[in-house]
Amino acid sequence: MLMEPNSVGLVEPRLYAFGSPEAPLVLDSGRTIGPVELVYETYGQPNAERSNAILICHALSGDAHAAGIHDPHDKRVGWWDNMIGPGKAFDTERFWVICANVIGGCKGSTGPQSINPASGKPYGGDFPLITIGDMVTAQKRLLDHLGIKRLFCVVGGSMGGFQALEWSLRYPEQVHTVICIAAGAHLSTQGIAFNAVGRHAITTDPDWQGGHYYGTAGPVRGLASARMVAHITYLSELKLNRKFGRRLQSADRLSYDIHNEFAVESYLNHQGTRFTERFDANSYIYITKAMDYFDITRTYGPLKEAFARKKSRFLVISYSSDWLFPTAQSREIVRALIAGDRDVSFVDIDSPHGHDAFLIDIDQLTRTVSAFLDGSQRSQPLESKPPAR
């Protein structure tokens, strides 16, 4: 693959393991898992004090591979490659950027596919339910391992935004700045409803087998349906109309076929099928449930009080056509931060791309993030040189 000049280039995933059955990670539910493994990637170099670290938190179907390529023959780059690298928003000539796959995921970190030490078999449906807080606690163990005492910034979009907010609340003394993109203080009732439909599609698939389907084809039909439903929420009505409208598959003539007669039907089927090739159905269940559980007021009290004693600088970004996390949810966070006399900037970006805009509309996002990080760096100067090797 021909790499662009400001790419981070070849990157190698790393593995950090901690805990054991005797000294496990205690989850918010009170249940435990151990040992725990986290797959992560880093881009750029730490400075002498390791004060230039930026933690990237991924969304539901994301993973640790946020930038660069793993192999010269890779056809695709990391999911936020256009934001991470020399001269980009998260400039790897200034910052040490880290991204880890969340626990519960299926891209190398401990999740339902992992071996349960109690049985010697994959956890499957026996994997304990997790929360956004549990994901952050595991990330904290990784950062401790990396010698990072305080993050310069924690950032994420969608579920990654949940994690960024949770970091500011759970470990407020260890976060200098927070960038929350296309997220909110909780998932809306409508969002929970869409997740419930997706989980229902998976768990009613005859091949789900109570989550113990490893070694078989698994609930691919249910997972594909779940992804189709979710994918609709990531787009806007304007985007769907522009891209597909009511266009038919057969030269604009009705074929009177129950399957894939409209172009949008074919598109969603394609998205569902592709998703089953790279994601695990159990992970989808566990991660969407973690998103449902996230609710700042339930965990930390009213938003104004929850944010009142936090010292972090905040940048909150929303998108005009996002109906999964509409601008009103971002404004709710901003109002609470202002009421608590917190340092907060807010930008609502005009975009036709819906919730997925933070992965697509990069130019304005880059300008906004870069300006915020520049201002934040002036308030906390970074060491100019990397540590001696």
User: What is 195-287's CATH topology?
Assistant: Rna Polymerase Sigma Factor; Chain: A (1.10.1740)
Average pLDDT over residues 361-374: 96
Tell me, what DSSP letter sits at residue 217?
Answer: -
| For residue 386, pLDDT beyond 60 | no
| For residue 385, pLDDT beyond 80 | no
- Of 59-73, 117-131, 257-271, give the lowest mean pLDDT range: 257-271
Specify the CATH class of 14-192+296-379 in words: alpha beta
CA dist 203 and 198 (Å) reads 9
pLDDT single digits (tens) 201-216: 999 999 999 999 999 9
pTM of the model: 0.94
CA dist 8 and 324 (Å) reads 32
**pLDDT on residue 389:** 40
The fraction of the chain above a pLDDT of 90, given in percent, is 86
The residues near 179 (Cβ < 8 Å, ≥ 6 apart) are: 153, 154, 155, 156, 164, 314, 315, 317, 369, 372
Of the pLDDT bands very low, low, confident and very high (cuts 50, 70, 90), residue 255 is confident
| For residue 384, pLDDT beyond 60 | no
**Segments making up each domain of the chain, as ranges:** 14-192+296-379, 195-287
Average pLDDT over residues 79-99: 97
Of the pLDDT bands very low, low, confident and very high (cuts 50, 70, 90), residue 224 is very high
Which are the catalytic amino acids? 158, 322, 355
CA dist 195 and 377 (Å) reads 38
| For residue 372, pLDDT beyond 80 | yes
**pLDDT on residue 381:** 64
Average pLDDT, the chain: 94
Instruction: Report whether 88 contacts 82 (CB < 8 A).
Output: yes
**pLDDT on residue 213:** 98
Average pLDDT over residues 230-241: 94
